[in-house]
């Protein structure tokens, strides 16, 4: 059974935890006075001993295709490496989402491969693409 979305939970979260929790968070992307959209991250278990961050990005429709998607990934990567000990940040998108794939590649993410039938949307299973950015991918002088 699919659980209905519970938007009231999202409305309450800024008061409850400032949208920053140990297992994930949300930050607003702003430019000047404009609220461009938001980025989010959550814990993804990769081994019994460790986790990485899985990130997502949603610019508001009127700000898409203007370079903000690409620009927003870079400070998010930097922020997560600066504020946690994870070695790996990963991102996934549907294989047809060329804009997100380009934005990730231009932000320095490495394409790892195709995950067949990895996402269910609009009544169908869709292939996905997996990307990653490792702490060791940061240029030496920038590595925390």
Ligand X SMILES: CC(C)(COP(=O)(O)OP(=O)(O)OC[C@H]1O[C@@H](n2cnc3c(N)ncnc32)[C@H](O)[C@@H]1OP(=O)(O)O)[C@@H](O)C(=O)NCCC(=O)NCCS
List residues near ligand X by CB under 6 A: 56-59, 64-70, 93, 97-100, 102-103, 106
- Cβ distance to ligand X smaller for residue 21 or 102: 102
Output b/e per residue, 9-37; b: 16+ Cβ within 10 A.
eeeeeeeeeebeeeeebbeebeeeeeebb
Nearest distance from C-beta of residue 110 to ligand X, angstroms: 16
Cβ 72 to ligand X shortest distance, Å: 7
Q: State which residue, 86 or 128, has the beta carbon closest to ligand X.
A: 128
Phi, psi of 84, deg, nearest 5? -150, 170
Nearest to ligand X of 67, 144 (CB atom): 67
Neighbour-count burial of 92, counting CB atoms closer than 10 A to its CB (0-12 exposed, 13-18 middle, 19+ buried): buried
Minimum separation from the CB atom of position 14 to ligand X (A): 21
Which residue, judged by CB position, is nearest to ligand X in the bound state? 69
């Amino acid at each position: 059974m699919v659980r209905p979305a519970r938007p009231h939970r999202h409305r309450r979260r800024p008061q409850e935890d400032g949208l920053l929790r140990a297992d994930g968070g949300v930050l607003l992307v702003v430019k000047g006075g404009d609220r461009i959209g938001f980025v989010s991250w959550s814990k993804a278990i990769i081994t019994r001993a460790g986790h990485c961050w899985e990130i997502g990005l949603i610019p508001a429709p009127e700000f898409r295709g203007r370079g903000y998607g690409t620009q927003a990934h870079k400070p998010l990567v930097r922020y997560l490496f600066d504020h946690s000990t994870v070695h790996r940040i990963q991102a996934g998108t549907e294989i047809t989402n060329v804009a997100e794939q380009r934005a990730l590649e231009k932000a320095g993410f490495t394409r790892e491969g195709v995950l067949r039938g990895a996402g269910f949307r609009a009544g169908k299973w869709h292939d996905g693409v997996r990307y990653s950015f490792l702490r060791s991918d940061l240029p030496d002088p920038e590595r925390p």
